[in-house]
Amino acid sequence: MWMICKKEWNQFFSSLTGYIALIVFLLLNGLIFFVFPNTSLLDFGYASLEGFFSLAPWVLLFLIPTVTMRSLADEYKAGTFELLKTLPLTSSQIVWGKFFGALLIVLLALIPTTIYAFSLQHLSAAGGIDVGATTGSYIGLFLLGAVFTSVSLCASSFTNNTVVAFISGAFVCLILYTGFDALSQLPFFANGWDYYVQMLGINFHYKNISRGVIDVRDMIYFFAVILFFIAITKRNIELR
Amino acid sequence: MQSIVEVKNLSKHYKNISAVDKLSFTVYEGDVYGFLGQNGAGKSTTIRMLLTLIQPTEGSINLFGLKLNAYRKEILQSIGAIIEKPDVYKYLSAYNNLKLFARMSGAHRTEKELLQQLDMVGLKERAHDKVHTFSQGMKQRLGIAIALIHNPRLIILDEPTNGLDPQGIADIRNLILHLSREMKKTLLVSSHLLNEMEQVATRLLIIDKGKKLVEGTTAELFDPSQILIELETLNNAEAFKLITNSNWQSALQPKRNNSLVLKIHRNIIPDFHVWLVQHNIKILSLQSRHSLEDYFLQVTSGEQHVAAFAN
């Protein structure tokens, strides 16, 4: 499994696309939170990364499908998937290897953003940032990234077209992230069901963790969604 | 002799099409098992089922005495395979591809061993070049190196000479002989190059439309020392008359495309040449045909397939 993980990592950085995706992610975050006046953390007045944590999922929503779109679609297209299947590897090893490979890249993209937290901590005149909430938010962001990775990997397992994999991956991530929130606003769910509909979406659980409270129910939600999409991916490659 | 591959009543149906139909065969340890058939006969489908790339509709496959479905991982550890056109990671070098596939196969090879393997398939000089710069023939060789890197007991090669030039084909032939004779490997090789198979196979299976036609050792099926000669002369009728009145009469075979056909033992072909000259027969062409080709055409309903194989 770790060989597949390593291969994914190497594959991502074997082309310019990989570097560009990461640079754009970091540059975009940097511009939004330190340069653009309306969203600048420095002009916010409080030592808080709240703005970053509410906008970062939107950026990840595009970054992660870019990372995973080639994972399986490219293997199908290039014909290497057939060779992979003749090796003594189980479908679980292939899928988890690819999942962790992509997740490490997501982690690599998130690590430099911790500079924002350290910067604010040092720049703060009094009190500093809320360390508990910030740590919780980073855990939430990482788990959200893991869910997006499993969804996008699953999208890549349906097609040999990387563009289709990207679009469908990003679309399902979007639905999971905000779709249920939007759905809960419908009058149909006004009689108390809106809360339960919101619970189906990622945003509900992400917000919970971002408060710095690690609830087992939120963790179960994240892991269940990941396992669900990994299981579909596994089934897809077995049927291929 | 221990059976390495044991296939019983294997079938694969696609809607109304039967790609493989109740196929049974056995490959024994040490065999170079030639798997022959025209394009679309079901060779690749069978090989794909042996490698679990597709599921059979019915039938059983046992490899190394184990059921394929139950012991897939253990079985695949002992198999090296290339399927038609092997595709590897183009952004990696030949060396890194080999290293990657060795590790994914559960084998850890030293740099020296990896380079030795590349040397065996003639790619040592290009070991660190990216695969996207390789010709199809070089990719084919790399595919073979990958198939062999984890020292498998059974090697399955599906059309291993695809895309190779004559020298490459000869190299693959020698490699197969080396693997069989020196390294004592069991090989299952599918190919449409009948003369190549004739030189390497110890046992043969000929299939047509997914069904087994014949299976056996080359000695059981035909005598490779008997060569078919196609003779075209300035006056074929006169030559035919002379031959039918001579000792060569017994070698005459049915005519083909206006040519006279004789089946003669390899050792007495020079005598036949001398006899033709002595009898002042004006030869336009004299070509030998391989016994396997002839045998193949015989069992797969004949002449109409000549063109298909010539292509």
Q: What ranges do the domains of chain A cover? A: 2-239
DSSP 8-state code for residue B249: G
Query: Minimal CA–CA distance to A157: which of A207, A89, A230, A54?
Result: A230
Residue type present at position B202: T
How far, CA to CA in Å, does B157 sit from each of A119, B32, B251?
60, 11, 37
Whether B105 has its CB under 8 Å from any CB of chain A: the answer is: yes
Q: Do B53 and A79 touch (CB under 8 A)?
A: no
Place of tokens 């690749």: B44
Q: What number of CA atoms fall less than 13 Å from residue B49's CA on the CB side?
A: 28
Beta bridge partners of A197: none
Low-confidence winner among A7-11, A147-151, B269-273, B295-299 (lowest mean pLDDT): B295-299
Query: Minimal CA–CA distance to B191: which of B171, B178, B210, B172?
Result: B172
| SS3 of residue B224 by DSSP | coil
Q: Which of A4, A13, A71, A86 to mutate to test the interface with B (most CBs of B within 10 A)?
A: A86
- The token pair at A138 is 């980073």
Cα distance between residue B5 and residue B25, in whole Å: 8
| SS3 of residue B207 by DSSP | strand
Express as a percent the part of chain B with pLDDT over 70. Answer: 93
Q: Kindly provide the residue ranges of all beta strands, DSSP E only, lying in B148-202, ordered along the sequence.
A: 154-158, 186-190
Residue B309 pLDDT level (bands cut at 50, 70, 90)? very low
- What contacts 24+ positions apart, CB below 8 Å, involve B96-102? B97/B131, B97/B142, B97/B146, B98/B142, B98/B145, B98/B146, B98/B149, B100/A3, B100/A7, B101/A83, B101/A87, B101/B146, B101/B149, B102/B149, B102/B150
How far, CA to CA in Å, does B174 sit from each of B140, B177, B303?
15, 5, 31
Output the pLDDT for position B304.
41
In this prediction, the answer to ipTM > 0.85 reads no
pLDDT one-digit tens code per residue, B81-140: 888 777 888 888 899 989 988 888 888 888 899 998 898 888 888 889 998 898 888 888
Output the pLDDT for position B77.
87
Q: Do B73 and A89 touch (CB under 8 A)?
A: yes
pTM assigned to the model: 0.75
Q: Are B205 and B214 in contact (CB under 8 A)?
A: yes
Chain B closest-CA separation from residue A38 CA (Å)? 43
Query: Minimal CA–CA distance to B242: which of B283, B284, B276, B286?
Result: B276
| Backbone φ/ψ region at A89: left (φ over 0), alpha (ψ -120 to 50), beta | beta
C-alpha B208 chain-centroid distance: 15
Contacts of A14 in chain B (CB under 8 A): 91-92
Query: Minimal CA–CA distance to A236: which of A167, A155, A148?
Result: A155
Output the pLDDT for position B240.
87
H or E, element range at B61: strand B58-63
Q: Are A209 and A140 in contact (CB under 8 A)?
A: yes
Output the pLDDT for position B291.
66
Q: Do A7 and B89 touch (CB under 8 A)?
A: yes
| SS3 of residue A149 by DSSP | helix
A129: pLDDT strictly greater than 60: yes
Whether B103 has its CB under 8 Å from any CB of chain A: the answer is: yes
